[in-house]
Amino acid sequence: MTRTLTPELLDALPPQHPDALHSRRDLGWINWAMGNHRWFARTLPPLARAGELALELGAGTGELAARLARRGVAVDGLDFCPRPENFPVERTWLAGDLRTFAAYNRYAMVCGNLIFHHFSDAELAKIGAALRRSLRLILASEPTRSLRSQRLIAVLGRTLGASHVTLHDAHVSIAAGFVGDELPCLLGLAASEWDISCSTTFLGSYRMIARRRT
């Protein structure tokens, strides 16, 4: 499959629209089924260093940041959405666009769950240039781009009562996902400067761990 970007319906809905609320509930079970939050909670804390701050890109409902906070990782959130009620009270919520965010140098680590696939190759190159300036660790969990993943989510989604927004957005998200070493390459993470690990899971998650060489 060639990587293609199609606008997602959820991105155009007001946060409190019934279809948006339904779709975010659907995303909750998708993240649970794919083990995305469990993977971050298992992977990030051992790699964090004392006193370091992490930033979650597209922090959404705040569930991942809250989970990481319980594991002792200080995580701020960056998103267009309003600050969620369950976001850790001691952490900062930043309302804005990660493409133009100017304070990555405050952070040592960035994590992104189902966020990088929203951007074109050219946008990812610019995002990568900003991230590379100061970060030492980048974690990402994204869709694996495959027809199998699209068929699987269509069957599971309908079985579990997913909304039309979720079914549409899951299909196009997978079409915009990644395979192999595409994501680190698009972010411009050179193997001479970064230790990079990319893997995929049976249920269609694409995971990247990128650690700056010291």
For the chain, the domains span: 35-145+178-212
User: Does residue 71 contact residue 45 with C-beta atoms inside 8 Å?
Assistant: yes
For the domain made up of 35-145+178-212, the CATH class stated in words is alpha beta
Whether pLDDT at 53 is above 90: yes
Six-digit token string for 47: 């790699």
Instruction: Look up tokens 């006193």; give the residue.
Output: 51
Query: Which tokens in the block code for residue 91?
Result: 């952490």
**Which pairs with CB-CB distance under 8 Å and at least 24 residues apart come from 50-54?**
52/107, 52/108, 52/109, 53/106, 53/107, 53/108, 53/109, 54/107, 54/108, 54/109, 54/110, 54/111
- Cα separation, 102 vs 173, in Å, equals 27
What's residue 1's pLDDT?
A: 84
Q: How far apart are the C-alpha atoms of 113 and 36, rounded to whole Å?
A: 7
Distance CA 205, CA 134 (A): 27
Coil/strand/helix, residue 107 = coil
Residue 184 predicted with pLDDT over 90: yes
Contact 101, 94 (CB under 8 A): yes
In contact, 82 and 20? CB cutoff 8 Å: no
Report the DSSP pairing between strands 74-79 and 109-113: unpaired
What is the predicted pLDDT for the residue at 106?
95
Q: Is the pLDDT of residue 86 over 90?
A: no
pLDDT at residue 91 tops 90: yes
CB 107 within 8 A of CB 54: yes
Strands 194-200 and 205-212 come out as: antiparallel
pLDDT at 11: 86
pLDDT, residue 16, reads 85
* pLDDT tens-place string over residues 107-145: 999 999 999 999 999 999 999 999 999 999 999 999 999
pLDDT at 94 over 90: yes
The yes-or-no verdict on residue 149 having pLDDT over 90 is: yes
Cα first-last separation, the chain? 36
Angle at 137 between CA 80 and CA 205, to 5 degrees: 70
pTM: 0.93
